[in-house]
């Protein structure tokens, strides 16, 4: 594995008295699949929110390819190649499936956002350019035959996959997913796993927050375990599964699904 694409040092996010993230540090090698696990409220989503720029940290440092990005907005980070999906699905449910993916491309195309809803000049031109690429992504994610359906009419699992396609349209180098397997059936989880492995083969770095341990243990190069906003343990799937602290705080509880 090559050098670290992300380096986090003493990262903290406090909301008043709540120490959602409290002094965590980790390094993520480029082209690896890193997962973050831990009980509910451990600070996993907040960590993704800090890495992606949804929140600015209370203190600490985030370096991307050796450059500090702490103060950059979510939008600026997407331009640098950092993309993510959210724990709660955030699609444009009234738009078609393919238009949701095309909206993901707009970051690189300077289209006024209202033109997605009221098609006009730039959008119409851009749509043609992006259509083929969007269909490729939909094919990759198993939704090509649903391209013209309304996003809101898709099953829950398909909506989650569509979120992934839309985030991939921004052409990320680091791709973060917050509980992508939540609500998916076993077949869908298997498919998700195969897609994430393919993305890794295409030189993407993946950061996965997940409670589905079958997925985590099958896919992770490294697992970072959090509890109460703090570091608890990190290691390979085998090391994490046999660590008494991790078992006591998380794996032995009902929070982790196997
Ligand atoms: N915007 C916010 N304002 C106040 N408190 C917050 C905010 N966001 C998160 N928290 C608190 O920070 C802590 C960590 O939350 P976070 O959502 O990061 O946990 P999580 O590990 O993702 O949990 P889950 O597995 O349930 O998704 C929780 O106590 C939560 O209530
Ligand atoms: Mg969460």
Is 192 found in the same domain as 140?
A: no
d(CA 21, ligand 1 centre) in Å: 9
Is 177 found in the same domain as 51?
A: yes
Is 103 found in the same domain as 63?
A: no
- Of ligand 1's atoms, which has the minimum distance to the CA of residue 38? 21
d(CA 47, ligand 1 centre) in Å: 9
Q: Which residues pair with 230 in a beta bridge?
A: 227
| Residue with CA nearest ligand 1 atom 31 | 41
Is 125 found in the same domain as 49?
A: no
Contact 142, 157 (CB under 8 A): no
d(CA 44, ligand 2 centre) in Å: 5
User: In the chain, pLDDT over 90 holds for what percent of residues?
Assistant: 79
For residue 117, pLDDT over 90 is answered with no
**What CATH number is attached to the domain comprising 257?**
3.40.50.300
Domain presence at residue 5: yes
Closest CA to 40 of 234, 229, 232: 229
CB-side neighbour CA atoms (13 Å) of 182: 15
Last residue of a domain, one of 149, 168, 187: 168
pLDDT of residue 1: 44
Asked which of 65-74, 116-125, 143-152 is least confident by mean pLDDT, the reply is 116-125
Ligand nearest to the backbone CA of 20: 1
pLDDT of residue 14: 98
pLDDT of residue 95: 92
What are the structure tokens assigned to 256, written together?
């982790």
Is 193 found in the same domain as 205?
A: yes
Q: Is residue 112 very low, low, confident or very high in pLDDT (cuts 50, 70, 90)?
A: low
Structural domain total, the chain: 2
Encode pLDDT of 11-62 as tens digits. Answer: 999 999 999 999 999 999 999 999 999 999 999 999 999 999 999 999 999 9
Is 62 found in the same domain as 8?
A: yes
Encode pLDDT of 189-245 as tens digits. Answer: 999 999 999 999 999 999 999 999 999 999 999 999 999 999 999 999 999 999 999
Last residue of a domain, one of 113, 145, 168: 168
Domain presence at residue 87: no
Which residues constitute the domain of residue 232?
A: 1-81+172-258
Ligand 1 pocket at CB < 6 A: 15, 18, 20, 38, 40-46, 87
Is 207 found in the same domain as 235?
A: yes
Domain presence at residue 86: no
The DSSP call for residue 249 is I
Last residue of a domain, one of 168, 195, 214: 168
Is 176 found in the same domain as 69?
A: yes
Contact 175, 205 (CB under 8 A): yes
d(CA 205, ligand 1 centre) in Å: 24
Is 23 found in the same domain as 47?
A: yes
pLDDT of residue 253: 74
Is 104 found in the same domain as 75?
A: no
Is 155 found in the same domain as 116?
A: yes
Q: What does each C-alpha distance from 178 to 16, 22, 45, 98, 207 come to in angstroms?
A: 24, 19, 7, 22, 9
Is 228 found in the same domain as 199?
A: yes
Domain presence at residue 89: no
């Amino acid at each position: 594995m090559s050098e670290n694409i992300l380096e986090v040092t003493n990262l903290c996010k406090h909301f008043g008295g709540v120490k959602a993230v409290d002094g965590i540090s980790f390094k993520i090698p480029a082209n690896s699949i890193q997962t973050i696990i831990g009980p509910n409220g451990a600070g996993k989503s907040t960590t993704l929110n800090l890495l992606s720029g949804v929140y600015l940290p209370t203190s600490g440092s985030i370096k991307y390819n050796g450059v500090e990005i702490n103060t950059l907005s979510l939008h600026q980070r997407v331009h640098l190649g950092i993309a993510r999906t959210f724990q709660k699905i955030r699609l444009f449910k009234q738009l078609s499936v393919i238009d949701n993916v095309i909206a993901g491309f707009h970051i690189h195309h300077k289209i006024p956002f209202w033109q997605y809803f009221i098609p006009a000049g730039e959008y119409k031109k851009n749509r043609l350019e992006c259509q083929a690429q969007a269909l490729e992504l939909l094919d990759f994610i198993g939704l090509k035959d649903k391209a013209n359906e309304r996003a809101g009419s898709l099953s829950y699992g398909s909506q989650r996959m569509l979120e992934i396609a839309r985030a991939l349209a921004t052409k990320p180098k680091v791709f973060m997913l917050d509980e992508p397997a939540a609500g998916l059936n076993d077949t869908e989880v298997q498919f998700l796993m195969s897609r994430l492995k393919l993305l890794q083969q295409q030189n993407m770095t993946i950061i996965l927050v997940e409670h589905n341990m079958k997925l985590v243990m099958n896919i992770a190069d490294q697992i970072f375990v959090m509890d109460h906003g703090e570091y608890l343990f990190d290691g390979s799937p085998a090391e994490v599964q046999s660590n008494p602290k991790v078992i006591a705080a998380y794996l032995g509880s009902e929070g982790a699904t196997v």
